[in-house]
Amino acid sequence: MLLNGDNLVFSARRVDMAVPAWQMPQGGIAGAETPRAAAMRELKEEIGTNDADIVDESRDWLTYEFPEKLAGMIWRGRYRGQTQIWFAMRFRGKDQDIDLDTSEHPEFSDWRWMRPAEVLDQIVDFKKPLYKAVFKEFEVILRG
């Protein structure tokens, strides 16, 4: 969860969804990489910068499952969902540093700083419980 100086949450619109679907950056751990290193790498890969400080880490790994109709299509049906550790990060850079066109196959087409309630309004339904848990986990930070 990337936060700006006003405690707004970075959220980006996925390019691979037929309907508008927004989410926070996330990704997998590669090989022997630590979760913290993976979070910083994924941030750089997805939004073009990782100019951020990790300020907190979720106490537990959080899980979500794909809806039945998507489970067979996403990642060729190999996974039913994801288990994730979450980090609250404070963005040190400038908005101009954010570049979604960072790879041959960008994940996002647009981005905004949002209040947590706005993020919940924009994400796909199956991730809402996970995002609520993330916002609850970091509520002290979100309140400033």
For 76-122, what is each residue's pLDDT tens digit? 555 567 789 999 999 999 999 999 998 788 999 999 999 999 999 99
Residue 118's domain comprises 2-143
pLDDT at 74: 57
Count up the domains in the chain and report the number.
Answer: 1
* Domain CATH code at residue 105: 3.90.79.10
Q: Which residue(s) pair with 42 in the sheet?
A: none
- Torsion over CA: 101, 102, 108, 112 (sign): negative
Residue 108 tokens, joined: 């996002």
Percent of the chain surpassing pLDDT 90:
74
- Average the pLDDT over each of 8-12, 19-23, 36-40 and give the range with the smallest value: 19-23
Q: Supply the pTM of this predicted model.
A: 0.90
